[in-house]
Amino acid sequence: MNFVRNFFATRWGIISVGAFIGVFAPLLQKWGNPANMGICVACFERDIAGALGLHRAAVVQYMRPEIIGFVLGSLIAAYAFKEFRARAGSAPIVRFVLGAFAMIGALVFLGCPWRAVLRLAGGDGNAIFGLLGLIGGIWIGTLFLKGGYNLGRAQKTHASVGWLFPLTMIGFLVLMFIFPQIQGQERSGVLFYSIKGPGSTHAPLFVSLVIGLVIGFLAQRSRFCTMGAIRDFVLFRQSHLLLGFIALVVVAFIVNLILGQFNPGFAKLPVAHTMSLWNFVGMVLAGLAFCLAGGCPGRQLFLAGEGDGDSAVFVFGMIVGAGISHNFGLASSPEGVGPYGIPAVIIGLLVCLFIGFTMRKEVA
Amino acid sequence: MSAIVDARGLSCPQPVILTMNEIKKVKKGEIVVLVDTDTSKENVSRAATSQGWTLKGVEPEGTGYRISLSKD
């Protein structure tokens, strides 16, 4: 146990976790997940919002088992290594709002940091603008961090507070078993499914779930975080997390080459548009929101699995943000940005700046 | 007398930022950092040793850890 504990805290530990995701994300694609979207935390939470009917975009409705696996895998790791700590109360409303705007920004680009590098590893040149935006947003966030920005302290609390989010995920999984997908039908009981589009393409439930569980377990141990990778390098010149992120993109690129999934170009690529400026600005918003909230969307799920109620609120913010994005025409499509995507991104940036500038008091 | 950095309840990257600020302030001597998650314990230890500080010890305290750092 101690060897495992120590290994994942090392450089090779984080590299191996990034590499593991780099192998299995493209494989999930081969096994049925959407192209250039082996695992996208934002897209998959958006699909979950669709499965629950929080938005009714017919092409993106599926209760993604990977997300459920991430949370439960982290929960198992946290208990196995005695790290489960129920905690909450560090500016939850701020985290909710940051989660919602992070999702709105990510859906203008069409992907989270995970998918940004997976798109790049699949040859999608538009991802470069998204990644530059992500770095830009995180860089702005580090300026706030240097200026004393913080979310305040969380408090230790009842174990049940930490359990609510994992229990919600178990509930979602149970719903998938009670109301399984019916071929050619959009609805099964309380759940919505997609008949066409990215929501209809998915690996078999158990494959997605098991890979999600393993990634959740490994990521909890190694503290894998794509936003932290860039933030720590900008802020402290520390490359620990960055090595994991680089391992992900390099390995995913190699696996895509082997599987014949590398298709370089810009136009007409899967679930992507070519409006470079808004690919960039959308991810500036997402990167800034992730940085102000202290973790990438994957990391927020892993933290929620180990008992962090504030991260759970962030995830709920993202799921609600996805509902808002698709209900009000903020989300992009392969044709380009949605009718209200641009003003939403500008409002999001202003809200993030408001939060960044005003939450700078010394920690008591 | 060591300087004490209380990073309990603060989420990433605050414990590291507070520790680094203290390191810049005192330059050498002893610093005690209080954290309440294993992640913070690892991050603070990694950041401090990368700045040439020695990890003197990590002891459980309450529901978290007491990290002792020193530099001559």
In this prediction, residue A362 carries a pLDDT of: 66
What are the tokens at A349?
Answer: 């940036």
Q: What is the pLDDT of residue B63?
A: 86
Domain boundaries, position B57: 3-71
Which pLDDT score, from 0 to 100, does residue A226 have?
Answer: 97
Inter-chain touch B46–A238, beta carbons under 8 Å: yes
pLDDT tens string A172-214: 999 999 999 999 999 999 999 999 999 999 999 999 999 999 9
**Residue of A7, A3, A8, A2 lying closest to A302 (CA atoms):** A8
CB contact under 8 A, B12 and A9: no
Give the closest-approach CA distance of B8 to chain A in angstroms: 7
For residue A364, the model assigns a pLDDT of: 55
Per-residue pLDDT, averaged over A284-309, amounts to 98
- Considering the domain boundaries, does residue A238 fall inside one? yes
For residue A20, pLDDT over 80 is answered with yes
What are the chain B neighbours of A236 within 8 Å (beta carbons)? 16, 20, 47, 50
pLDDT in tens, A78-101: 999 999 999 999 999 999 999 999
Q: A154 in contact with B at a CB cutoff of 8 Å? A: yes
Domains contained in chain A, number:
1
Within 8 A of A300 by CB-CB distance, chain B residues are: none
* Residues from chain B contacting residue A87 (CB–CB below 8 Å): 9, 36
**What DSSP line would sit under A136-183, residue for residue?**
HHHHHHHHHHHTT------EE--HHHHHHHHHHHHHHHHHHHHS---T
Query: How many Cβ contacts (< 8 angstroms) between chains A and B?
Result: 56
Q: Which of B11, B42, B47 lies closest to A90 in CB terms?
A: B11
Chain B contact for A151 (CB, 8 A cutoff): yes
Q: Given B12, B18, B36, which is nearest A228 (Cβ)?
A: B12
* pLDDT above 90 coverage of chain A, percent: 97
Residue A233 phi, psi dihedral angles, 5° rounding: -70, -45
Structural contact between residues A72 and A61, judged by C-beta atoms closer than 8 angstroms: no
Q: What is the DSSP letter of A307?
A: T
Residue A75 located in a structural domain: yes
- Residue A170: which pLDDT band, with cuts at 50, 70 and 90? very high
Number of helices (H) and strands (E) in chain A: give both, helices first: 15, 4
CA distances A71 to A104, A165, A316, Å, are 22, 8, 13
Domain count, chain B: 1
Contacts of B47 in chain A (CB under 8 A): 236, 238
| Cα end-to-end distance, chain B, whole Å | 14
Q: Are A294 and B12 within 8 A, CB to CB?
A: yes
Mean pLDDT of chain A: 97
- Confidence (pTM): 0.97
ipTM for the assembly: 0.94
CA dist., res. B65 & res. A60, Å (int): 44
Please, which pLDDT band fits residue A363 given cuts at 50, 70 and 90?
A: low
Q: Identify whether A364 is part of a domain.
A: no
Residue A316 lies in a domain: yes
Tell me what the mean pLDDT of segment A111-135 comes to.
97
pLDDT at A5: 79
Residue A150 is assigned to a structural domain of this protein: yes
Cα distance between residue A119 and residue A113, in whole Å: 10
Task: At A237, give phi and psi (nearest 5°).
Answer: 60, 30
pLDDT at A147: 94
Closest CA to A48 of A170, A191, A180, A163: A191
Residue A61 covered by a domain: yes
Domain membership of residue A264 (yes or no) is: yes
Which residue range forms the structural domain that includes residue A300?
2-358
Q: Does position A348 have pLDDT exceeding 90, yes or no?
A: yes
Map tokens 């990073």 to a residue.
B7
**B68 by DSSP, 3-state: which?**
strand
Q: Is the pLDDT of residue A337 over 80?
A: yes
Which one of B12, B40, B50 would you mutate to disrupt binding with A, by most A Cβ within 10 Å of its Cβ? B12
Name chain A contacts of B50, Cβ cutoff 8 Å. Answer: 236, 238
Rounded Cα distance between A109 and A274, Å, is 10
At residue B36, does pLDDT exceed 90? yes
The answer on pLDDT for A1 being more than 80 is no
- Given an 8 Å threshold on Cβ–Cβ distance, is A83 in contact with B38? yes
